[in-house]
Amino acid sequence: MENVTDLFAPRLLKVQKSFIREILKVAANPEIISFAGGLPNPDVFPVREIQISCDEVLRRDGYEALQYSTTEGYLPLREYIAAEYNAGYDLHIKPENILITNGSQQGLDLISKVFIDKDDKVLIEKPGYLGAIQALSIYQPEFIGITLNNDGVAPQELAEILNNNAIKLFYTVPNFQNPSGVTYSYNVREKVAAQVAKHNIILVEDNPYGALRFSGSDQPPFRKWLGPQSIMLGTFSKTVVPSFRLGWICADHDIMEKALVAKQGADLHTNYFCQKVVHYFLTHFDMQAHIEKTKQAYKKQCDAMIGAIENYFPKGVTFTKPEGGMFIWVTLPRKIPSLKLLELALQDKVAFVPGNPFYIDGGGGNSLRLNYSNSNPDQIEIGIKKLALAMKKLMEE
Ligand SMILES: Cc1ncc(COP(=O)(O)O)c(C=O)c1O
């Protein structure tokens, strides 16, 4: 064999390695204060409860819990998820509408596999979730970006894009978006849904952070207006633990059938034991108290970061104020490239993710994403102060 790279499938050649995962390697140095990753706060992981749940599942189900299982997923867990949707917004979700996946990231891959061929048009927020850009890219779509404002995308811009392009799929994260922390207002949701309803497209609503709202009031999912025209992706990564890799796709029958085939080809089924353990945890412990504890922790961390930003960041720097989730989006004055800021910050042992990789069209060069859920308030104060100094240095140059 002369050159293995000549043998690679063209569909993979343009897909970048995750930039964040590369920064995380640097940020893994314990001396670095890292606002780069998107890791949940491990202090809230329910370690004791998960240990009890593991023991109890093994004691109760023994051999059966360790066997192969169905592609759709553990029925009681799917029933639980459907009931949660219906309790919140009366969405008429049945367990048959839920496919348990290996994290919501696999949900993204399966949906891409079901819908996207080369050059199909996919609409995504600017900035957009990097993991979605990566998952979708493998299927070689043409990405079209739509600006994300502080209350969601602009319905008028959406109308124009949808009228002028045969979009197949609109991918959106309407609650505490990764990377911006932005939440769509009720008004914007309603108008976006009205536009989408006029076209033969699918709206994919990815909602990993919705349960982690620490201020403001909950907003309905797009499904309220769009019904089967929307697919919802969910996950237990942020509300229970990420290591189990448990998420789900919620969609109507025809899409489910295809997603099931896609999943069978990928991995037959999601980890059965973990599904049972999480179901045991959800139904035997006080989930409300657990979520409340998680929200309080994130609120404290977010308040610490916003407070430090307000105290130290130079004039001309703007930032979002999230009502939940894990991220703040910072915009620097135009002439300051965030990649340059990253170089300086890393010398001073602070890490973050520059904005550019979150843009499918090369924008975002003067913006950055800050994560607050994986640093304590003292680290946040020190890290933000250092970042502010680096910003001032660049602004004076
Ligand atoms: C918007 C969004 N979607 C999906 C995921 C993937 O989550 P998981 O695969 O752990 O469910 C993440 C993780 O950070 C995310 O931020």
Final residue in a domain of this structure, among 284, 319, 340: 284
Q: Is 177 in the pocket of ligand 1 (CB under 6 A)?
A: no
Whether residues 28 and 151 fall in one domain = no
Atom of ligand 1 nearest to the CA of 246: 11
Distance 183 CA to ligand 1 centre (A): 16
Atom 2 in ligand 1: residue holding the nearest Cα: 208
- Which residue matches tokens 């942020």? 238
302 and 257 assigned to the same domain = no
Q: Does 172 map to a domain?
A: yes
The rounded distance, in Å, linking the Cα atoms of 310 and 313 is 6
206 and 310 together in one domain: no
Q: Which amino acid is at 62?
A: G
Residue closest to 233 by CA, chosen among 214, 209, 208, 216: 208
Same domain, yes or no: 74 and 33 = no
- Say how far apart CA 254 and CA 231 lie, in whole Å: 12
**233/377 same-domain check:** no
Can you give the pLDDT at residue 364?
Answer: 92
* Nearest Cα to Cα of residue 13 among 4, 1, 25, 22: 4
Alpha-carbon distance 35 to 170, whole Å? 29
Q: Is residue 349 in some structural domain? A: yes
**In this structure, what token pair is assigned to residue 194?**
């009205």
Asked whether residue 338 falls in the same domain as residue 389, the answer is yes
Distance CA 139, CA 389 (A): 42
Q: Which of 250, 284, 318 is the last residue of a domain?
A: 284
Q: How far is the CA of 291 from the centre of ligand 1 (A)?
A: 18
- 389 and 275 in a single domain? The answer is no
**Do 87 and 212 lie in a common domain?**
yes
Q: How many domains does the chain have?
A: 2
For residue 32, tell me if it sits in a domain.
yes
Ligand 1 touching residue 280 (CB < 6 A): no
Q: Let me know if residue 61 belongs to a domain.
A: no
- Any atom of ligand 1 within 6 Å of the Cβ of 129: yes
Calculate how far, in angstroms, residue 311's C-alpha sits from the geometric centre of ligand 1. 31
Contacts of 58 (CB under 8 A, 6+ apart): 65
Query: Atom of ligand 1 at shortest distance to CA of 38?
Result: 14
User: Which of 24, 112, 175, 237 most suits a substitution to test ligand 1, by most atoms within 8 Å of the C-beta?
Assistant: 237
Do residue 110 and residue 141 come from a single domain?
Answer: yes
Q: What are phi and psi of 40, to 5 degrees?
A: -65, 165
Q: What is the CATH number of the domain that holds 35?
A: 3.90.1150.10
Q: Which domain holds residue 82?
A: 68-284
Task: Indicate whether 256 belongs to any domain.
Answer: yes
Q: Is the CB of 103 under 6 A from ligand 1?
A: yes
CA of 5 to the centre of ligand 1 (A): 30
Per-residue buried b or exposed e for 283-303, using 16+ beta carbons within 10 Å of the residue's own CB: eebebeebbeebbebbbbbbe
With respect to residue 51, please indicate whether it lies within any of the assigned structural domains: no
Residue 247 Cβ inside 6 Å of ligand 1? The answer reads yes
Per-residue pLDDT of the chain (397 residues; tens, 9 = 90+): 788 888 888 888 777 666 677 777 777 788 999 999 889 999 999 999 999 999 999 999 999 999 999 999 999 999 999 999 999 888 999 999 999 999 999 999 999 999 999 999 999 999 999 999 999 999 999 999 999 999 999 999 999 999 999 999 999 999 999 999 999 999 999 999 999 999 999 999 999 999 999 999 999 999 999 999 999 999 999 999 999 999 999 999 999 999 999 999 999 999 999 999 999 999 999 999 999 999 999 999 999 999 999 999 999 999 999 999 999 999 999 889 999 999 999 999 999 999 999 999 889 999 999 999 999 999 999 999 999 999 999 998 8
Residue 391 falls inside a structural domain: yes
Tell whether 143 and 36 lie within a shared domain: no
Residue nearest to atom 16 of ligand 1 (CA): 178
Identify whether residues 91 and 221 lie together within a single domain: yes
Q: Is residue 59 part of a domain?
A: no
CATH number where 200 lies:
3.40.640.10
Using the 3D structure, point to which of 256, 284, 312 is the last residue of a domain: 284
Rounded to a whole number of angstroms, the distance between the first and last alpha carbons of the chain is 52
Tell whether 165 and 269 lie within a shared domain: yes
Does any ligand 1 atom lie closer than 6 A to the CB of residue 208?
A: yes
Q: What is the pLDDT of residue 113?
A: 97
Distance CA 212, CA 202 (A): 26
CA of residue 109 relative to chain centroid, distance: 13
